[in-house]
Amino acid sequence: MILTIDPGVSIGIAIHMPAGYSTYVAQGEEAIWVLLAEYPWKVVVIENFLTSGRISKYGLYTVRMVGGVQSMCYHLGLQLAVQMPAARYPYESAAKGMLKAYPHEVHEVAALAHLLRWEGDHKEVLWLETLSNRVIH
């Protein structure tokens, strides 16, 4: 199972499990800590924080969340992949297409796009799993 996180005040979550893909928006970092600890993730992918200047209180919240996820993954022995925001851009159209039949938020699209990017870059890992393009919402 693969978990991707679009960090921030509203946290985009995308999961790829053998039954298909699932996305949702979580509120509060506690939801992330529980999610990380409860499942045997093959990899956790998180979007890194990027700023071109001063950092707002929301930006600082996001930086702390990324660091917290990095620490939790290390503590739990989970593989972590950190992607820059631009890494998801080529996959946003595909993510929107997969979610178009379901009500969704922009953070879900971002998380799913990061997941698709990771899968596109790591095809050698995916052949071991039974995968589906179904979206479970």
> How would you write the pLDDT of the chain (137 residues) with one tens digit per residue?
999 999 988 999 999 998 899 999 998 888 899 999 999 999 999 999 877 788 888 888 888 989 999 999 999 999 999 999 999 999 999 999 999 999 999 999 999 999 999 998 887 655 444 444 555 55
Give the per-residue pLDDT at 126: 52
Give the per-residue pLDDT at 133: 53
| SS3 of the chain | CEEEEECCCEEEEEEEECCEEEEEEEECHHHHHHHHHHCCCCEEEEECCCCCCCCCHHHHHHHHHHHHHHHHHHHHCCCEEEECHHHHHHHHHHHHHHHCCCCCCHHHHHHHHHHHHHHHHCHHHHCCCCCCCCECC
What confidence tens digit (pLDDT) does each residue in 105-118 have?
999 999 999 999 99
Residue-range domains of the chain with CATH: 2-19+29-126 (3.30.420.10)
